[in-house]
């Protein structure tokens, strides 16, 4: 049995493109792999809190020396990191907000990208500690920022997220992109359908490799 961690980050709970695509991924995966476990983390509806000095101090205190308040302050970050380590497959719904990730996804990043837990520094430089699992980033944006669009320099959404994932050791990252969503209904429909096709192909490919 494998565990699939699905992370939604859009605060738009009813009409989000990224949520529709993560739901399609999860539903298709559940149908193709009925024995697998799907864990859902919604940082759009329930975003992790912004970091403060007390939380950072709790992280920096050895586990055996934390007082009750520090245990409480570190609990969410520890749980999010444990979810990431426990997952065999990770799916992240990532809408673009003001050229970057949503604030809920950014605070998730801040809670899971922790020195000593998901990466460490050495004389040879940083080393990611979360490895051996594919990550599927389902990206949605109203504009056009892909290679060749001329808008690449304004993309701090996918570039940031993919960089952080790789920094933590998650180098097997696939981006499924729905963009030009604000370019009219025909453009949005075509882009969403193309992203849906990619989702379906990924699930079918995972089924084939598993059967082999």
What pLDDT score does 147 carry? Answer: 86
- Please say if the pLDDT value at position 211 is more than 60: no
pLDDT digits (tens, 9 = 90+) for 168-188: 999 999 999 999 999 999 999
Share of the chain above pLDDT 90, in %: 92
Q: What is the pLDDT of residue 209?
A: 64
**CB of 126 closer than 8 Å to CB of 167:** yes
Strands (E), the chain: 3-8, 37-42, 89-95, 119-122, 125-128, 135-140, 173-178
Of 95, 94, 103, 102, which Cα lies nearest the Cα of 135?
94
> What was the pLDDT predicted at 178?
97
- Alpha-carbon gap, residue 69 to 10, rounded angstroms: 30
pLDDT of residue 206: 78
Domain count, the chain: 1
Q: Stretch 95-110: mean pLDDT, rounded?
A: 97
**183 burial level (CB within 10 Å; 0-12, 13-18, 19+):** middle
Decide if pLDDT at 92 tops 70: yes
In degrees, rounded to 5, the angle at the alpha carbon of residue 86 between the alpha carbons of residues 55 and 68 is 30
Is pLDDT at 212 greater than 60 in this prediction?
no
Which residue range is the domain that position 110 belongs to?
3-211
Query: Can you say whether residue 206 is alpha, beta or left, with left for phi > 0 and alpha for psi between -120 and 50 degrees?
Result: alpha
Mean of pLDDT values over 21-29: 98
Phi, psi of 172 (to 5 degrees): -90, 80
- The CATH code of the domain that includes 64 is 3.40.50.360
Mean pLDDT throughout 193-206?
Answer: 94
Vertex 196: Cα angle to 112 and 206 (nearest 5): 65
Residue with tokens 């949520």: 19
* Residue 20: pLDDT band with limits 50, 70, 90: very high
For 4, the token pair is 């699939």
Token pair for 201? 């192909």
Does 208 score more than 90 pLDDT? no
Q: CA 175 to CA 186: how far, in whole Å?
A: 22
The whole-number pLDDT of residue 59 equals 97
What distance in Å separates the CA atoms of residue 94 and residue 18, rounded to the nearest whole number?
6
Q: pLDDT of 103-123, one tens digit each?
A: 999 999 999 999 999 999 999
Q: Are strands 125-128 and 37-42 parallel, antiparallel or unpaired?
A: unpaired
């Amino acid at each position: 049995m494998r565990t699939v961690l699905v992370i939604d980050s859009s605060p738009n709970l009813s009409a989000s493109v990224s949520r529709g695509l993560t739901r399609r991924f999860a539903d298709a995966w559940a149908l193709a792999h009925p024995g697998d476990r799907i864990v859902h983390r919604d940082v759009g509806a329930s975003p992790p809190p912004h970091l403060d000095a007390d939380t950072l101090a709790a992280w920096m205190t050895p586990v055996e020396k934390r007082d009750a308040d520090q245990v409480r302050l570190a609990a969410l970050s520890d749980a999010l990191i444990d979810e990431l380590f426990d997952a065999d497959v990770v799916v992240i719904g990532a809408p673009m907000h003001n050229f970057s990730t949503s604030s809920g996804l950014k605070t998730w990043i801040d809670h899971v990208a922790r020195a000593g837990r998901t990466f460490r520094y050495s004389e040879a430089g940083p080393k990611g500690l979360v490895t051996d699992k594919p990550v599927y980033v389902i990206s949605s944006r109203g504009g056009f920022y892909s290679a060749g669009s001329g808008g690449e320099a304004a993309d701090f959404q996918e570039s940031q997220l993919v960089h952080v994932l790789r920094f933590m050791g998650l180098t097997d990252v696939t981006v499924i992109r729905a963009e030009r969503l604000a370019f009219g209904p025909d453009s949005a429909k075509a882009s969403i359908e193309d992203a849906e096709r990619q989702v379906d192909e990924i699930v079918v490919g995972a089924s084939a490799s598993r059967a082999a």
